[in-house]
Amino acid sequence: MKSVSKRDKRWAILGGTFDPVHIGHLRIAVQLRDLGFEQVLLIPNHVPPHRPQPQASGSQRLAMLELACARLDGICTSSIELERDDLSYSAITVEALHDLYPDVGFTWVMGQDAWQGFEHWHKPGELLDQANLLVISRPGVRNVSHWQEQQLEQRECNIDELLADDAGRICLHHWPELDVSASDLRRAIKQGDNVTFLTPDAVLEYIDQQQLYR
């Protein structure tokens, strides 16, 4: 695939439920900055009523994210999906972000578990028309479907090639894997376990103050 870049800046997007944000998310965000992304956007999704609901509300999930990245240079939150009442389709989010930031090339970042289900997302091809995809290794997930094999044959690249392109590339990236998830964290809080260092202290204080995950 030939590199054609029309946009000057490189931003990464990590979307998710963030119920709550944890060090797995935050390590990804800081490492994305080290790779060369100028800005990392953490975007909590609006969860539609017919799906399992997060335990924390949209505004609580956003508040926890804001506390978590308050002192992290180049890492910030966006409420763009919470402000929309419809489903949180990533392709629609990136289209809206392109309108707001026409000189930015976006890379949508996801863990390997999310990549497993990516072909069932709403119009995955449309998202790839508008953004690159960076898949981060995560403990315990390894299968590759036929659809994924086909996509990788056409689009797979290394991180430098991904950074040189505006859209359409897929990079599978390995960092030391952190076996931590929001479900584990919720379970541990409910059980009264010590969860220090699994998320920043400011987030733990907020969880305590709001009596979340009890």
Residue ranges that bind ligand ATP, judged by CB under 6 A = 14, 16-19, 24-25, 28, 110-111, 113-114, 136, 138, 178, 180-183
- Min dist CB 109 to ligand ATP, Å, is 7
Closer to ligand ATP by CB, 7 or 148: give it. Answer: 148
- Min dist CB 202 to ligand ATP, Å, is 18
- Min dist CB 28 to ligand ATP, Å, is 6
Cβ atoms < 10 Å from Cβ of 131: 27
- Min dist CB 9 to ligand ATP, Å, is 22
Closer to ligand ATP by CB, 57 or 181: give it. Answer: 181
Whether the upstream peptide bond of residue 49 has omega within 30° of 0, thus cis, is no
Cα–Cα dist 210/193, whole Å: 18
Closer to ligand ATP by CB, 110 or 167: give it. Answer: 110
Closer to ligand ATP by CB, 5 or 147: give it. Answer: 147
DSSP for 15-65, written as a single string: EE--TT--HHHHHHHHHHHHHT-SEEEEEEPPPPTTSPPPSS-HHHHHHHH
* Per-residue buried b or exposed e for 173-183, using 16+ beta carbons within 10 Å of the residue's own CB: beeebbebbbe
Cα–Cα dist 119/126, whole Å: 11
